[in-house]
Amino acid sequence: MGRNLQAIILAAGYARRMRPLTNSTHKTLLEINDESVLSHIIQKLVKNDITDITLVLGYLADELKEHVEQRFPDIVFNYVVNEDYDTTNNLVSLHMALEEVELRSDVIIIESDLIYSEEVLQQILNSKYENVALVDHFQPGMDGTVVSINGNQITGVIPPHLQGEDFNFNDKFKTLNIYKFSSEFCFGPFKDLLSHYTSSRKDSYYELMLGVIIYLRAETIHAEILNGEKWAEIDDPNDLQIARYKFENKPKKILDEAYGGFWNYDVTDFCYLRNMYFPPSAMLSELKNNLTKTIFEYGSSQKILNRKMSYFLECSEDHVVCVNGISQLYPIMRNHFRGRSVLHPSPTFGDYFRVFPEASHYYDEVGIDTTDFENTEEEVIIFVNPNNPTGSMVSSEWIYEFAETHPDKTILVDESFIDFSDEPSLVPMLMKKPVQNVIVITSLSKIMGIAGLRLGYCYTHNEEFLETLRNEIPIWNINTIAENFLEILLKFRREYGESLVHVKADRESFFNELRKVDFIKHLYPGGGNYLLAELTLDDEQLSDLNDHFLSEHNLYLKPVSEKFRTGNWMRFAVHNPTENENLVQRLTEYSPISTKTV
């Protein structure tokens, strides 16, 4: 027996925020898992025996009609067309539907820019309340109308234009724009209020009418609150990508291609590396307080940026260059060292392989034998200290002495993780007794937990390289938020030092716990904020583990097998103790798939 419900799907709008994807295609026909968004909605309704479906159309109405009739030939759809879709909002579309739809039963109202799991629809269909909205806990990245709730009753509807600068979202809920209304309410007071407002406010939204009804206590609207069920609202192309991440069977591929921007995804990232204890809350508060000034101003000149970086390093500004993350230096180094022979570690950062494709390699699997460098013929030698992903270290004092005794070679040292180690940086040694052939580059993004600010430096007494940097780097080189961070940083030296102590302690605890995982063959202690593990898993098992942890636990892991000549390897970023413990627990509980035999 079918449910005693009819559905109204609002699909009239042009979706300006989805351009250019909607220039010639309706938003609801964009595909997720090889199926249109609209088809996903209708499929779930039909699966629950809801076949009395009205579509409110406008933009590309004929295209939508053709699509649903081909996709669902057994359903006789009702159509309502809002010819003024381009100048009106959903208040008019819903009012037209209620005017033209024959009253047969209670009503499910769904906006067409949603995709959701079966459990989401079940929650509202099974709700004991007559008039109810689906809502979810508000999270960063959500936008649109929010509601306040007391118990399971909606007490206020707050549209975006009332969400001011100091608006508190902590106790608010986001509406999914899926509603179940009784026929008496829907075709009575709600319809009457819509009729009243459409005569003068055609550019408004029906959610505001619900707010008026709640404010006047003309009807009680309840809320069904989701508890982790999957859904996504698709308002712009970025939302479409997030929806595909949630609902397509390739989340790892999406993250692997993105290389970041993970704030949009519900994932704990054990791939990318940062200091979990810095910046402290007081520093973040100061950055936030200054934001309304810094985002409207131009940054300082490169000369001033170099000076501000020298204050942090406590060195002469003549030998330091502030950079927009050390990734800015890679193409500059490629051109500067063009025609010279280069030696760098393998494995290491992929940037060195891209920048120096003809370079020779010294192998780090795991550990570096410094005696191998005595007879090297290459003109430029690169040390990544500690190396990534191995964590291998070379004594800073040995590098300094090697540079002194080989003045014909340029020694480039990447110290992006050195503060997590027990080795000192080369920079104070070079300040005390300069060596012309040493170039030190460091990313502050990782050691200070500010990957989004893109901040780093180069320190050297090599005048030739300094001149290259002065010529290549633009006058406005880093954004003002990063510059402000550099200024504030001077007040937080003690907190930064304390953060490193915490990271090292967490790394040791994480190391001891990971050793309990059965399929970790060998775990290597290292000098970075990460640990390298050699695994007993074969390729198929490793792939299954990565997919399982992302889809089932929202844990994104970093296999690094392609960097090594043999075996399967994983690099684990060191997080806070709670997240580290959660990962270890999941790993110890996980049972690798059986290897296929021939």
pLDDT in tens, the chain (598 residues): 345 899 999 988 887 778 887 788 888 898 888 889 999 999 999 999 999 999 999 888 999 999 999 999 999 999 998 888 777 777 788 778 888 888 778 999 998 889 999 999 999 999 999 999 898 988 766 777 788 888 888 888 887 777 777 777 778 888 888 999 888 888 887 777 777 677 656 566 777 777 778 777 878 889 899 988 889 888 888 888 888 888 887 888 888 887 777 777 888 899 889 999 999 999 999 999 999 899 999 999 999 999 999 999 999 999 999 999 999 999 999 999 999 999 999 999 999 999 999 999 999 989 999 998 988 999 999 999 999 999 999 999 999 999 999 999 999 999 999 999 999 999 999 999 999 999 999 999 889 999 899 999 999 999 999 999 999 999 889 999 999 999 999 999 999 999 999 999 999 999 999 999 999 999 999 999 999 999 999 999 999 999 999 988 999 999 999 999 999 999 999 999 999 999 999 999 999 886 544 3
Strand partners, 180: 108, 132
CATH fold of 5-244 reads Spore Coat Polysaccharide Biosynthesis Protein SpsA; Chain A (3.90.550)
**DSSP per-residue letters across 260-303:** S-GGGS--EESSS---TT-S-HHHHHHHHHHHHHHTTSPPPPHH
- What is the rounded distance in angstroms from the CA atom of residue 278 to the CA atom of residue 284? 9
Q: Report whether 566 contacts 539 (CB < 8 A).
A: no
Q: Report whether 225 contacts 124 (CB < 8 A).
A: no
- The pLDDT value given to residue 597: 40
Domain 249-275+496-589 is of which CATH architecture? Alpha-Beta Complex (3.90)
- The pLDDT value given to residue 203: 61
Q: Report whether 182 contacts 221 (CB < 8 A).
A: no
Strand partners, 570: 533, 559
- The pLDDT value given to residue 124: 93
Angle, alpha carbons 452-242-592 (nearest 5°): 90
Residue 145: phi, psi to the nearest 5? Answer: -70, 135
> Exposure string (b/e) for 258-279, b if CB count within 10 Å is 16 or more?
eeeebeebebbbbbebbbbbbb
**DSSP per-residue letters across 507-540:** HHHHHHHHTT-TTEEEEE--SSSEEEEEES--HH
Q: Report whether 488 contacts 283 (CB < 8 A).
A: yes
| Count of other CB atoms within 10 angstroms of residue 559 | 19
Give CATH 3.90.1150.10 domain extents, the chain.
Answer: 249-275+496-589
- The pLDDT value given to residue 303: 95
514-531 pLDDT, tens digit per residue, is 999 999 999 999 999 999
Residue 407 neighbours by CB under 8 Å, 6+ apart: 436, 437
Helices (H) and strands (E) in the chain, counts: 21, 26
- The pLDDT value given to residue 368: 94
- What is the rounded distance in angstroms from the CA atom of residue 496 to the CA atom of residue 538? 40
Give CATH 3.40.640.10 domain extents, the chain.
Answer: 281-492
CATH class for the region spanning 281-492 = alpha beta
185-233 pLDDT, tens digit per residue, is 888 877 777 776 776 565 667 777 777 787 778 788 898 999 888 898 8
- What is the rounded distance in angstroms from the CA atom of residue 208 to the CA atom of residue 156? 10
